[in-house]
Amino acid sequence: MRYAHGIVFGSLLPGIVFIGAALINLMDYGITDPADPRLAAIWDLFLMWSLISVIIFVVPMIIARFAKRELFREIAIFEIGGFAFFTPLWFCLATEMTGRSCIEIMLSGVDAALPGPGSHGIIGLNIESFMLVPIFLGLMVIGVIMLRPSFVKGSETTGKRTELDALRETVTEPEAEPAAEPETVSTVAPDIPTVPLPVTDESSKDELRAMLLELGFLAPLIDQIMGAGISSIPELVATGADQIAAITGLAKKEAEDLHMQVQKKVWFGGI
């Protein structure tokens, strides 16, 4: 479902940009005098909309960079890929809205398509047909490549790996204890001391989180497990699949798979 939401998000942004530009273009309908002051006002409005279009493209990625860092790469892929793939489609639809044929535009080019520097300030730059068609074809190819499910999935795996590496850096290696001197064996059986329960600290929590991330489990599921009081790898191994299912809300089969992967990782190194 998140993939579908990403496609919708990536397709709506260029739609907003091109539909807005088409509405501005319709404002000069019926104006035939090049000296009409209304044309200057429409041109100023087009320049303002060009700046707003850049903001529409940039702001979501800036917000994701600071608010959802773990999803930044995925959001950037959906946005850039959506702009690339859907731009030609929205361009054709917006062109038809202005009363001109999309095929006609492809053959003749676009006049004053983009604002750019000129000898008299900011002017409209033309895009000729021999440039327009290859640009649109290239954009659609880039969009198809970036919006492939395997490409998006690869960005999720990279994000998990980055978080895993950051956690591993915070886990401190235990200092090696000096070797104990050999003791003389006594023939008298000593009293068996009481073995204290294992103490859970931040290091054991980080190790548990790092292992679950390495196995591919998402952060919300890990937070549920640790929020239930399971704070170390031995505790998770000793927890039954039924209890894991009750804690996390997973189906019993999914909880058994999780428990099996943890046991394989602990006992056999993930083989």
Q: Which domains are present in the chain?
A: 2-156 (no CATH), 203-271 (1.10.150)
* Residue 21 pLDDT greater than 70, yes or no: yes
3-state secondary structure of 12: helix
How far is residue 15's CA from residue 94's CA, in Å, rounded to a whole number? 9
Q: Which of 7-16, 44-53, 224-233 has the lowest mean pLDDT?
A: 224-233
Residue with tokens 């994000």: 159
Considering the entire predicted model, what is its pTM? 0.52
Q: Do residues 95 and 105 touch, judged by C-beta distance below 8 A?
A: yes
pLDDT score at 264 = 78
Q: Do residues 9 and 158 touch, judged by C-beta distance below 8 A?
A: no
* Residue 145 pLDDT greater than 70, yes or no: yes
How far is residue 105's CA from residue 83's CA, in Å, rounded to a whole number? 20
Beta-strand pair 110-118/121-127:
antiparallel
Mean pLDDT of 67-73: 81
Report the chain's mean pLDDT, rounded to a whole number: 77
* Residue 161 pLDDT greater than 70, yes or no: no
Residue 201 binned pLDDT confidence (cut-offs 50, 70, 90): low
199: exposed, middle or buried (C-beta count within 10 Å: 0-12, 13-18, 19+)? exposed
Task: List % helix, strand, coil for the chain (3-state, nearest 5).
Answer: 70, 5, 25
User: In terms of pLDDT, which residue wins out, 192 or 39?
Assistant: 39
Mean pLDDT of 208-223: 78
Q: Do residues 87 and 136 touch, judged by C-beta distance below 8 A?
A: yes
Q: Which of 69-73, 108-112, 187-191 has the lowest mean pLDDT?
A: 187-191
pLDDT score at 127 = 84
* Residue 86 pLDDT greater than 90, yes or no: yes
Mean pLDDT of 52-69: 87
CA of 178: how far to CAs of 127, 175, 181, in Å? 75, 9, 9
Residue with tokens 């050999």: 182
Per-residue exposure over 96-126, b if at least 16 CB sit within 10 Å of its own CB, e if not: eeeeeeeeebbeeebeebebeeeeeeeeeee
* Residue 141 pLDDT greater than 90, yes or no: yes
| Residues 6 or more apart in contact with residue 171 via CB below 8 angstroms | 203, 206, 207, 210
